[in-house]
């Protein structure tokens, strides 16, 4: 525990959680944690996945009841049995995965559960007025009649915040609020948070992102494996200190990338690629790119701008409507996925549980998938079980996969270890071309460090790597070249060392379509509609 | 050829409405049920239960109105089994629905023999609702559609009201909004303090009541006795109507009308087939197939375009239980 911090007399404590312990059948999720929150404060709650942050907040929000410990709200002990009670007492929570009904309008989502109206009939006019009033009061522009599904992620988050404010939230809990936002959207959110603080709302931010803590919070608690390991004032602490506290050992935040001579001729090339989406519109239009051996090309972009279609087409999982794909000078546009794998293509898909692994099958089986029908893993129609087991055990050791055995279902492993299984399988195949999509989605600092190091190792082996990621930080720490994908087109290409996150983020939101003088305003032009 | 076109007359529209009524009722109920997130393929079973009990009560009391109430109530009670299975015990919705369908045919046959002493068809009921046809003054005189919509029997009128009421209910009332949210994102609804379980129970019971009413229509309004298997796949056609109608009460109604029309046409073509040279050799079974073929074709064409509720068929367990 860090040393106690003296309270100044004018800081009124509005919320206290003392000695909170929460036991689940197999894990101790929270071990004797005590925190407090002052009026009008922005508080950070930092920790890796599984550190117990969300459990603690779910206890506060009435989703779980603690095994022991007390929650004091304005000095009165409370014990919420359901979120409904917590909401009534002035708590609001914006979940990481939004609790919004996509098929309903903004207004319907905000009023859901406490609709204005008589005799069970909703007074839609009053509801709409209330939403407009709220949006004006807090300067959170939104179209009350828009369907949630049609809004950008940033605006959806705004609806979540309005939803809490409509319920008179005095304490707002934000769970991993920037994980889905572009840098511009994140900054806009920080402005909103400060604005809310100024109107007297206290804010708790749960996150594993250090940048976020440093950018916005005033005070931060650090959790590790269910324990509180520190309390710091943000202006008195560095990122590195926080990272070390969070992980419990020294971590490298940005992996070191060696300068490297890259071969002049591309090994992988796409020319004029056009792909139609399921809805019949172009998901990717006239896209060209190339990757050279030993080079990492990062494709940056906001989710849904053609990343999925591009990745599927590279692996031969989707029909191409125009253009060609070349590998080592040969046109491979019409080759099947299996043929591509035979040609030394490897793929780390973005959704590891749906496309990277067969969750119900063993670790060993997942380790050989794709090669299972070839020597040495099979002979005739028989699988060579002992060879497979030996091979899997070797990979488990080599890639430091934490599993009790190679014979348990891969679904029993943690997210980071599941990703390592995919990496082990794909990287051990000695690929010449590697497609990596979202390799660290949802993983914590330690796992990210490992995976980034492995990807750079492949680069050192002169593999041509195409990296598709929504995380700008990741794009920057790995890529040699950066391509910005917007509405299915590459609208800008940078050398990594000649640009920064702000500039790339600006192009990611279609910035080049407006005049370039004031990026931030333009990026948000749609929000004022 | 002229004799073939002669079947396209006012009577065809009247028959369309009458034949679509049971489908409409079951389809609208299914719409409400499925919007709460519960897959319901049990309309066939719910309907046959409604048909049996309406006939039984109408026969023993001599009062068809009591029969009508009984049909609805027993449809509702039987649907509780589906609610219990899917919501409370988290059983797969399709499995539960399939079981209910099979169970209901067994139960009704058993009870039929128990009550009337023989399988097949019950004794005819003394007074049936078809006798209560009422023509609304003026409106029923509107050419072409007047007789079809405004000179009808009680449950047909009720079906119109039910379509309008549930459209309003789903899109304008608090409970309707809660039900829609329950089928799209149940956890969001639950965390705002509205019980998803209650909404889903409600949706299932509504479909039980309307399907029960549909059964009553078949047994005590459209005919005057219960016959084993008299629903004849209408519950499944209602399922198709609900889906083709885009999980929307009005859409369900229109799709049901189409299936009713296909059925009405079939009867008429069958009736005149002997008089038309090129139709005489066509076996009548071909015509009977027609509404079912229409179901397959329309469902295949429209289903791709309609979007189901996002959380449909997915089990929902409140957090604490899972721990």
ipTM of this complex: 0.86
pLDDT over threshold 70, residue B312: yes
* Residue B50 contacts residue B42 (beta carbons within 8 Å): no
Give the per-residue pLDDT at B303. 66
Give the per-residue pLDDT at A37. 94
Which of A377, A431, A47 shows the shortest CA–CA distance to A205?
A47
Max Cα distance, chain B (Å): 72
Bridge partners for A68 per DSSP: A21
Say how far apart CA A404 and CA A31 lie, in whole Å.
Answer: 26
DSSP conformation class of B173: B
B169 within some domain? yes
Whichever domain contains B272, its CATH number is 1.10.3470
Q: Is A28 on the interface with B (CB under 8 A)?
A: no
CB contacts under 8 A, A 270-329 vs B, are none
B270 within some domain? yes
Give the per-residue pLDDT at A251. 67
Per DSSP (E only), the strands in B52-172 are 134-135, 151-152
Q: Chain B partners of A54 at a C-beta cutoff of 8 Å?
A: none
B59 within some domain? yes
Of B193, B246, B323, which to mutate for an interface test with A (greatest number of A Cβ within 10 Å)?
Answer: B193
Mean pLDDT of chain B: 91
Question: Tokens representing A524?
Answer: 């948000």
CB contacts under 8 A, A 85-104 vs B, are 87, 93, 95, 99-104
Bridge partners for A434 per DSSP: A346, A465
Question: Tokens representing A505?
Answer: 């983020």
Q: Which residue has the tokens 């029309």?
A: B261
Domains of chain A, each with CATH number or no CATH: 12-90+202-207+217-250 (3.40.50.300), 268-528 (3.40.50.300)
Q: Is B185 on the interface with A (CB under 8 A)?
A: yes
Burial environment of residue A130 by CB neighbours within 10 A (0 to 12, 13 to 18, 19 or more): middle
**Model pTM?**
0.76
Give the per-residue pLDDT at A348. 93
Give the per-residue pLDDT at B193. 83
Residue A35, CA distances (Å) to A1, A16, A53, A215, B25 in order: 12, 6, 12, 21, 57
pLDDT over threshold 70, residue A513: no
pLDDT tens-digit series, residues A6-50: 545 457 899 999 999 998 877 788 999 999 999 889 999 998 877
Give the per-residue pLDDT at A9. 46
Which of B13, B6, B7, B35 shows the shortest CA–CA distance to B257?
B13
Do the chains contact at A83 and B187, CB–CB below 8 Å? no
Say how far apart CA A323 and CA A523 lie, in whole Å.
Answer: 31
Residue A62's closest chain B neighbor by CA?
B191
Beta carbons within 8 Å of A332's beta carbon, 6+ residues apart: A316, A325, A326, A339, A340, A343
Q: Chain B partners of A101 at a C-beta cutoff of 8 Å?
A: 180-181, 184-185, 188-189
Percent of chain A with pLDDT over 70: 93
Which of A205, A183, A238, A249 shows the shortest CA–CA distance to A93?
A205
B139 within some domain? no
Q: Is B319 on the interface with A (CB under 8 A)?
A: yes
Q: Is A117 on the interface with B (CB under 8 A)?
A: yes
Local confidence band at A441 (pLDDT 50, 70, 90 cut-offs): confident
CB nearest A113 (choices: B172, B192, B323): B192
Distance from CA of A178 to the nearest CA of B (A): 20
CB nearest B188 (choices: A58, A82, A99): A99
DSSP conformation class of A387: H
Mean pLDDT of chain A: 86
pLDDT tens-digit series, residues B87-100: 999 999 999 999 99
Which of B208, B243, B231, B237 shows the shortest CA–CA distance to B96?
B208
pLDDT tens-digit series, residues A158-169: 999 999 999 999
* Residue A86 contacts residue A60 (beta carbons within 8 Å): yes
Question: Tokens representing B248?
Answer: 């929307």
Say how far apart CA B260 and CA B21 lie, in whole Å.
Answer: 8
Say how far apart CA A370 and CA B47 lie, in whole Å.
Answer: 50
Q: Is A113 on the interface with B (CB under 8 A)?
A: yes
Which of B53, B88, B104 shows the shortest CA–CA distance to B213?
B53
Angle between helices B93-116 and B64-83 (to 10 degrees): 140
Do the chains contact at B178 and A112, CB–CB below 8 Å? yes
Q: Which of A114-123, A252-261, A483-492 has the lowest mean pLDDT?
A: A252-261
Q: Is B285 on the interface with A (CB under 8 A)?
A: no
Residue A148, CA distances (Å) to A107, A189, B44, B194 in order: 10, 18, 36, 20
CB nearest A83 (choices: B174, B180, B193): B193
DSSP conformation class of A411: G
CB contacts under 8 A, B 189-248 vs A, are 189-194
Give the per-residue pLDDT at A157. 92
Give the per-residue pLDDT at B107. 96
Q: Is B320 on the interface with A (CB under 8 A)?
A: yes
Question: Tokens representing A297?
Answer: 């090309």
Say how far apart CA B29 and CA B40 lie, in whole Å.
Answer: 10
B138 within some domain? no
Q: Is A120 on the interface with B (CB under 8 A)?
A: yes
User: Taking chain B, what is the end-to-end CA distance rounded to the nearest angstrom?
Assistant: 71
Give the per-residue pLDDT at A10. 54
* Residue A178 contacts residue A212 (beta carbons within 8 Å): yes
Q: Is A415 on the interface with B (CB under 8 A)?
A: no
pLDDT over threshold 50, residue A518: no
pLDDT tens-digit series, residues A270-299: 999 999 887 778 889 999 999 999 999 999
Give the per-residue pLDDT at B89. 93
Tally the domains of chain B: 1
Average pLDDT over residues A110-124: 92
Give the per-residue pLDDT at B273. 78
Give the per-residue pLDDT at A472. 85
* Residue A83 contacts residue A93 (beta carbons within 8 Å): yes
DSSP conformation class of B77: H
Distance from CA of B187 to the nearest CA of A (A): 7
Average pLDDT over residues B8-22: 91
Do the chains contact at A108 and B175, CB–CB below 8 Å? no
pLDDT over threshold 60, residue B1: no
3-state helix/strand/coil string of A353-377? HHHHCCCCCEHHHHHHCCCCCCCCC
Give the per-residue pLDDT at A163. 93
Say how far apart CA A271 and CA A478 lie, in whole Å.
Answer: 24
Give the per-residue pLDDT at B111. 96
Average pLDDT over residues B121-145: 90
Say how far apart CA A330 and CA A325 lie, in whole Å.
Answer: 8
**Residue range of the domain that includes B127:** 2-131+144-318
Phi, then psi, of B96 in degrees rounded to 5: -60, -45
Residue B196's closest chain A neighbor by CA?
A113
Residue A107's closest chain B neighbor by CA?
B177
Say how far apart CA A409 and CA A477 lie, in whole Å.
Answer: 33
Local confidence band at B23 (pLDDT 50, 70, 90 cut-offs): very high
* Residue A466 contacts residue A147 (beta carbons within 8 Å): no
Question: Tokens representing A277?
Answer: 């989406």
């Amino acid at each position: 525990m860090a040393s106690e911090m003296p309270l100044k007399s004018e800081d009124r404590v509005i919320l206290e959680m003392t000695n909170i312990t929460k036991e689940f059948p197999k894990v101790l999720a929270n071990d004797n944690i005590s925190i407090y929150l002052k009026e009008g404060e922005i508080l950070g709650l930092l920790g890796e996945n599984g550190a117990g942050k969300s459990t603690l907040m779910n206890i506060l929000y009435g989703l779980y009841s603690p095994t022991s410990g007390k929650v004091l709200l304005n000095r009165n002990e409370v014990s919420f049995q359901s979120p409904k009670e917590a909401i009534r007492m002035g708590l609001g929570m914006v979940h990481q995965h939004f609790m919004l009904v996509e098929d309903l309008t903004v207004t319907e989502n905000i009023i859901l559960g406490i609709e204005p109206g008589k005799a069970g009939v909703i007074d839609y006019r009053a509801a709409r007025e209330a939403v407009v009033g709220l949006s004006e009061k807090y300067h959170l522009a939104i179209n009350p009649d828009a369907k949630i599904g049609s809004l950008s992620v940033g605006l959806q988050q705004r609806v979540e915040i309005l939803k809490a404010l409509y319920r008179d939230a005095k304490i707002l809990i934000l769970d991993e609020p920037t994980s889905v936002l572009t840098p511009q959207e994140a900054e806009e959110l920080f402005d909103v948070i400060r604005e809310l603080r100024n109107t007297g709302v206290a804010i708790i931010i749960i996150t594993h992102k250090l940048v976020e803590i440093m950018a916005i919070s005033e005070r931060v608690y650090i959790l590790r494996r269910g324990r509180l390991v520190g309390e710091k004032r943000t202006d008195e602490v560095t990122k590195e200190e926080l990272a070390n506290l969070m992980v419990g050992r020294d971590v490298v935040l940005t992996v070191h990338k060696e300068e490297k001579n890259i071969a002049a001729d591309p090994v992988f090339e796409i020319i004029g690629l056009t792909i139609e989406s399921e809805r019949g519109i172009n998901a990717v239009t006239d896209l060209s790119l190339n990757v050279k051996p030993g080079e990492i090309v990062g494709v940056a972009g906001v989710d849904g701008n053609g990343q999925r279609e591009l990745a599927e087409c590279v692996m031969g999982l989707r029909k191409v409507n125009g253009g060609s794909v070349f590998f080592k000078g040969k046109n491979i546009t019409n080759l099947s996925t299996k043929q591509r794998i035979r040609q030394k293509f490897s793929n780390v898909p973005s959704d590891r549980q749906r496309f990277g692994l067969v969750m119900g099958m063993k670790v060993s089986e997942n380790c050989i998938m794709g090669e299972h029908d070839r020597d040495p893993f099979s002979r005739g129609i028989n699988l060579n079980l002992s060879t497979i087991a030996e091979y899997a055990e070797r990979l488990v050791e080599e890639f430091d996969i934490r599993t009790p055995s190679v014979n348990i279902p891969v679904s029993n492993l943690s997210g980071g270890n599941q990703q390592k299984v995919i990496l082990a399988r794909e990287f051990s195949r000695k690929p010449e071309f590697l497609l990596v999509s979202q390799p660290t989605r949802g993983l914590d600092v330690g796992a990210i460090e490992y995976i980034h190091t492995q990807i750079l190792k492949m680069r050192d082996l002169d593999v041509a790597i195409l990296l598709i990621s929504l995380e700008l930080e990741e794009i920057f720490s790995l890529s040699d070249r950066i391509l910005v994908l917007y509405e299915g087109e590459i609208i800008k290409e940078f050398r990594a060392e000649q640009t920064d996150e702000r500039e790339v983020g600006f192009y990611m939101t279609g910035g080049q379509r407006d005049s370039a003088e004031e990026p931030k305003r333009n990026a948000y032009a749609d929000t004022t509609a | 050829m002229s004799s073939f076109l002669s079947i396209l007359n006012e009577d065809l529209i009247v028959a369309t409405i009458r034949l679509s009524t049971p489908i409409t009722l079951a389809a609208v109920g299914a719409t409400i049920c499925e919007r709460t997130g519960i897959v319901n393929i049990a309309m066939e079973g719910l309907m046959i239960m409604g048909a049996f009990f309406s006939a039984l009560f109408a026969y023993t009391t001599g009062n068809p109105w009591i029969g009508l109430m009984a049909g609805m109530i027993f449809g509702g009670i039987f649907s509780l089994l589906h609610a219990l299975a899917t919501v409370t015990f988290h059983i797969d919705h399709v499995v539960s629905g399939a079981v209910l369908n099979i169970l209901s045919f067994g139960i009704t046959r058993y009870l039929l023999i128990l009550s009337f002493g023989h399988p097949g068809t019950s004794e005819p009921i003394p007074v049936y609702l078809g006798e209560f046809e009422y023509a609304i003054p003026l409106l029923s005189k509107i050419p072409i559609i007047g007789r079809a919509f405004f000179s009808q029997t009680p449950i047909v009128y009720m079906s119109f009201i039910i379509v309008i009421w549930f459209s309003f209910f789903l899109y304008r009332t608090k409970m309707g909004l809660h039900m829609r949210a329950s089928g799209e994102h149940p956890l969001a609804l639950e965390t705002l303090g509205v019980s998803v379980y209650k909404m889903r129970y409600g949706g299932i019971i509504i479909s039980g009541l309307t399907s029960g009413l549909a059964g009553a229509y078949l047994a005590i309004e459209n005919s005057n006795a219960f016959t084993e298997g008299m629903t004849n796949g209408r519950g499944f056609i209602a399922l198709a109507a609900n889906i083709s109608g885009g999980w929307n009460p009005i859409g369900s109604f229109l799709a049901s009308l189409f299936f009713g029309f296909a059925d009405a046409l079939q009867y008429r073509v069958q009736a005149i087939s002997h008089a038309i040279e090129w139709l005489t050799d066509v076996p009548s079974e071909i015509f009977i197939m027609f509404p079912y073929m229409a179901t397959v074709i329309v469902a295949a064409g429209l289903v791709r375009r309609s979007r189901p509720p996002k959380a449909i068929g997915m089990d929902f367990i409140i957090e604490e239980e899972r721990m």
